[in-house]
Chains A and B, each alone.
Chain A
């Protein structure tokens, strides 16, 4: 158990809909990362938050948005869903997220499996 929690575990929805994925980082971790992993693909970095502020952005679509709240949990919002958005969405947390050392070890949540029909 990494200490990172994600809800829900599974989500089935229809094209055009909007969903929210939730992540709680490990206790004490300040930085949260979101990744998308399609079937048999690598991890695609979406976005990083540090202590409530956006720190880095990857290949995140404009239909997707995220935020990190004062209690450090984070939500990833996916809207106008398309079939191609079906994937595993992982959240990871690190102690700092400030470019140094083993403190940047990422601890991953179990993921949310999204299926868009």
Chain B
């Protein structure tokens, strides 16, 4: 299988930094996506990593280690509107372009 593992829930304080981890199986791996999903709404694309290292996009950064099968999403200067589910999705070359989604990490930002 191509299990994607990420924590179910996390809580952080407004203004703080939070790191959401994701692990995946490395065989056939082709890239990793992060999506944000607010309750009752559609997921929206945040980032894509295919090479090792950190990609920064404003308050959000995403890191990938291909050899370790590990990624994280880093959110800085947390705002209340960042309360959402964050989905890790891995792309495999055996899956005809279909990303395999994790179950998501529900982040609650408290004042």
Q: Interface residue count for B (Cβ, 8 Å)?
A: 28
Within 8 Å by CB of B31, from A42, A48, A101, lies A101
Whole-angstrom CA separation of A56 from B102 in the bound complex: 18
Which residue from chain A places its CB closest to the CB of B28 in the assembled complex?
A99
CB pair A111–B42 under 8 Å, yes or no, is yes
Q: Are A98 and B96 in contact (CB under 8 A)?
A: yes
Question: How far apart sit A94 and B99, CA to CA, in the bound complex (Å)?
Answer: 11
Binds A, one of B18-26, B43-51, B65-73, B75-83: B43-51
B43 smallest CB distance to A (angstroms): 5
Q: Are B50 and A48 touching (Cβ within 8 A)?
A: no
Count contacts on A: residues with CB < 8 A to the other chain.
30
In the assembly, what is the distance between CA of A19 and CA of B100, in Å? Answer: 27
Mask: chain B, 35-55; 1 = CB below 8 Å from A; 0 = not: 100001111110010100000
Our pick among A48, A99, A111 for the contact of B92 (Cβ within 8 Å) is: A99
Q: Which residue of B lies closest to A91 (CB)?
A: B42
Complex CA distance for A31 and B97, rounded to whole angstroms: 9
**Assembly CA distance A50 to B87 (angstroms):** 23
Q: Which of A55, A88, A110 contacts B97 (CB 8 A)?
A: A55
Is the Cβ of B98 less than 8 Å from the Cβ of A45? yes
Inter-chain contacts of A55 with B (CB < 8 A): 96-98
- Which of these, B31, B87, B98, contacts A97 with CB under 8 Å? B98
B5 to chain A, nearest CB (A): 12
Contact between A100 and B43 (Cβ–Cβ < 8 Å)? no
Q: In the bound complex, do residue A110 and residue B41 qualify as a contact, i.e. CB atoms below 8 Å apart?
A: yes
| A106: chain B residues within 8 A (beta carbon) | 33, 35, 43, 45, 89, 99
Of the A-B pairs whose beta carbons lie under 8 Å apart in the complex, a sample of 11, sorted by A's number, is A56-B95, A56-B96, A97-B98, A99-B95, A101-B30, A101-B50, A102-B31, A102-B50, A108-B44, A110-B42, A111-B41
| Top 7 A-B residue pairs of the complex, sorted by shortest distance between their CB atoms | A42-B103, A97-B97, A108-B42, A99-B97, A102-B48, A98-B97, A55-B96
